[in-house]
Chains A and B, each alone.
Chain A
Amino acid sequence: MRVLGIESSCDETGVALFDTDNGLVAHRLYSQIEIHAEYGGVVPELASRDHIRKTLPLIQQVLDDASMSVDQLDGIAYTQGPGLIGALLVGSAIGRSMAWALNIPAVAVHHMEGHLLAPMLEENPPEFPFVALLVSGGHTLLVDVKGVGRYTILGESVDDAVGEAFDKTAKLLGLSYPGGPALAKLAESGKQGRFKFPRPMTNRPGLNFSFSGLKTFALNTIQDHSKESRAPYNLDLQTQADIAYAFQEAAVDTLLIKSCRAMAETKYQRLIVAGGVGANESLRQNLNLKAKKLDFEVYYPRAEFCTDNGAMIAYAGSLRLAAGHTEPPIIKGMPRWRLEDLDAI
């Protein structure tokens, strides 16, 4: 079965072709980062308009890459949520209409299910059950994954997502969008030990996260060392790097503590990490060390499949189509959609 996958929930347009016999055949991504950089973040309506411009040409390119024509497709999968409503509607409208026109089944995919199944696209995929740490600009989740569609949320952020805290702290530090990777880069030249940030919600039981306080702590530290008392703040380069270091250290450490706690509670042997923050080098290095010490396996998708992409949607969609799940010919987007509300297959 050959399934076309379309991802358009935020600021990346992703299209891919997954073949249940031959695996991932082709994938393409168009990133809107440059468009949004001058605004310092994703601009929802610009994102929707850009998805409209890019999706059809990307579909054509992916088919060309695979040396296939549309009538060789067996199904179409598209992200229906969660995400920005305008952006979701573009992918849903194109995906559902194409399937209608080609008279093939379509399936709506949950964006976060796509992320947590992304490591399955790699060699040596993890077996069920596992714990998934999903970390991005919009989400911070620890999920007990017993099988496809069998999800229990163990913990989530009670305020800001971890990627959002990275981006906002980066902005306070005067770094340009997208701030998270820029902050991580800056942290490389930071000195350990000069600043000590808190590890929110780690000294009490439970698996929820809080990252808003870390952002505020960064703001206070920046103000204490700024030559200007108001924004834009003025820090010397070393102080800027040291704050970036301390922030990243605290954010990573917090994710680490909670992930290990989830592993202990579930007694599972496998942890998967996905989402944009899953590409963070410091997180990966520290998790790998911990996993070795505590004797569990960690799985990551390749870096390009940590961030939003069409491959994970094509793959998740292929599993659901194979299990007989299809979407009626109604175009809709679901900006809020609980992972736990999905059907098991």
Chain B
Amino acid sequence: MNEVSERYSQIIESEQAMVAWASQFSSLISAPCQIHLMGNLGAGKTTLVRGILAGLAYSGLVQSPTYTLIEPYETKLGTVYHMDLYRLGSGEELEYLGIRDIDGEKAICLIEWPEKGQGYLPPFDLEIHLEVQRHKRLLGMSSVSSKGSQMIQRLNQAGLQSND
């Protein structure tokens, strides 16, 4: 049975606003959780991840994972995996990156360019779209699991302002 998809959207005014929004949003995340991040080069995907990690009390560097493809971070919710699949030729390559070694029961995964890993990624909860609108960003979110739907419902209740 398909879950009823919940939606949320928000205009983000600046990089600082993106970090602040993501940091607040992180309080709704619990393990396990799979979030897909979509958006073009420079849309702010890694900035959003940086905000989430800051919200989860990770204080170290959050470097771009474009070179290493996958970066693990130890946070108060356990290991958060930040992945960038931009360079994958096919989803099959995920097998070579040790994606099976990630414990799906516990892990939080934030995945950039998930479309490049299609067919090889585990089921996910939320999809976040970042659209470049001149100097601002339109953040759109939709759920694809009941967990994801609950997160969006709580997001709306928590008063993280939505334009819907």
- How big is the B interface, by class? 20 to 34
A168 and B42 in contact, given A39-B87, A45-B93, A156-B61 (Cβ under 8 angstroms): yes
Pick the contact of A42: B87, B98, B134 (CB < 8 A).
B87
B86 CB–A CB distance under 8 Å: yes
Question: CB distance A219 to B132 under 8 Å?
Answer: yes
Chain B 112-143 near chain A by CB (<8 Å), digits 1 or 0? 00000000000000000000101100000000
Interface residues of A in 200-242 (CB under 8 A from B): 212-213, 215-216, 218-220, 223-224, 230-231
Residues of A within 8 A of B97 (CB): 44, 85-86
A45 touches which of B15, B66, B68, B96 (Cβ 8 Å): B96
Q: Check if B67 sits within 8 Å of A137, measured CB to CB.
A: yes
Does A282 lie at the interface of the complex (its beta carbon under 8 Å from any beta carbon of B)?
no
Interface residue? B27 (CB, 8 A)? no
Distance between A177 CB and nearest chain B CB, rounded to angstroms: 11
B87 touches A220 (CB 8 A): no
Question: A160 contacts B15, CB within 8 Å?
Answer: no
Check A41–B86 contact: CB distance below 8 A.
yes
Contact B41 A157 (CB under 8 A): no
Is B46 an interface residue, CB under 8 A from the partner? yes
Q: Do the beta carbons of B40 and A231 come within 8 Å of each other?
A: yes
Chain A's closest residue to B95 (CB) is A45
Q: In the complex, what residues of A have CB within 8 A of residue B44's CB?
A: 216
Which of A39, A164, A220 is the one whose CB lies under 8 Å from B64? Answer: A164
Are A161 and B67 neighbours in the complex by a CB distance under 8 Å? yes
By a CB distance below 8 angstroms, the chain B residues around A275 are none
Contact of A41 among B47, B68, B87 (CB under 8 A): B87
Within 8 A of B (CB), among A169-197: 171-172
A118 within 8 A of B: no
| B132 contacts across to A, CB distance below 8 A | 219, 223, 230
Does A48 have its Cβ within 8 Å of any Cβ on chain B?
yes
Q: Which residues of A contact B68 (CB under 8 A)?
A: 82, 84, 138, 335-336
A residues near B11, Cβ cutoff 8 Å: none
> Which of B41, B47, B69, B135 sits near A44, CB closer than 8 Å?
B69
Q: Would you call B42 and A164 a contact (CB within 8 A)?
A: no
Provide the bound-state CA to CA distance between A215 and B43, in Å.
10
Q: Report if B88 contacts A (CB, 8 A).
A: yes
12 chain-A/chain-B pairs, Cβ below 8 angstroms: A39-B89, A41-B87, A45-B88, A45-B90, A86-B97, A138-B67, A156-B61, A158-B61, A164-B66, A164-B67, A171-B41, A220-B134
